[in-house]
Amino acid sequence: MRIGELARRTGVRVETIRWYEKSGLLEKPARNAGNYRDYDAAALARLSFIKRGRDLGFSLEQITELMALTRNARADCERVDAIARQHLAEVERKIVDLSSLRRELSGLVNSCTGGAIGECDILQALAPEGPPSRSEG
C-alpha cells in the first residue's frame, strides 16, 4: 500500500510517517515504479505499535527500545516492565504538578471580580511589587 493508505489505516499523518522513517523508527520501504513508498503488512503492524505507544505517552526512544525487545521473545520481560513503570511514575508526577498548578490558578481566577486592570488580583499575583514595566511613560 502507499503512504496515504497507511496513514488512513493507522491514524498517523503522512508527514509523520516520513519523519519516522527519516529518524530510523521505520525501515525504508520498497519503492514502486513511480518512486512512491510501498508498504507491506509488517510495516502496518510496526507503525500501529508506534502509534499505540505514542498514544500511551511513551517517547520515541522508549518505543524504539520496546520494539527491539520484542525480537527475542524468550528473554525476560523485566526491562519492558521497567520502562512501563518508569513512564507511569512520570505520568503520576505530572498529574501531581498540574494539580497544584490548578489549585493556584483557580484561586487566581476566582479572586478576580471584574473591574479595572490596575485592581485585578490576577495581575497583582503575577507582579512582584510595583508594576513590571514603568521605564518611561
Q: Residues in the site for a second copy, rule: CB under 8 A?
A: 27, 40, 42, 44-46, 48-49, 52-53, 56-57, 66-67, 69-78, 80-81, 84-85, 87-88, 91-92, 94-95, 98-99, 101-102, 104-106, 108-109, 112, 114-120, 122-123, 125-135, 137
Q: Are 6 and 47 contacting, i.e. CB atoms less than 8 angstroms apart?
A: yes
- Residue closer to a second copy by CB (options 34, 71) is 71
3-11, 75-83, 88-96, 99-107 -> range binding DNA (CB under 7 A): 3-11
Q: State the cell numbers at 121.
A: 488580583
Query: How many amino acids of this chain bind DNA (CB under 7 A)?
Result: 21
Identify which of 52, 33, 32, 30 has the alpha carbon closest to the alpha carbon of residue 41: 30
Out of DNA, Zn ion, a second copy, none, which partner does residue 100 contact, by CB within 5 to 8 A per kind?
none
Residues 8-47 within binding reach of DNA (CB under 7 A): 13-16, 18-19, 32-37
Q: State the cell numbers at 13.
A: 499523518
What does the chain come to in residues? 137
Identify which of 119, 99, 98 has the alpha carbon closest to the alpha carbon of residue 111: 119
**What track of x and - describes contact with DNA for positions 41 through 70 (by CB under 7 A)?**
-------------x----xxx---------
> From CA 135, how far away is CA 137, in angstroms rounded?
7
Output DSSP code: residue 112. -
**In whole angstroms, how close is the CB of 124 to a second copy at the nearest point?**
10
Q: Are 47 and 3 contacting, i.e. CB atoms less than 8 angstroms apart?
A: no
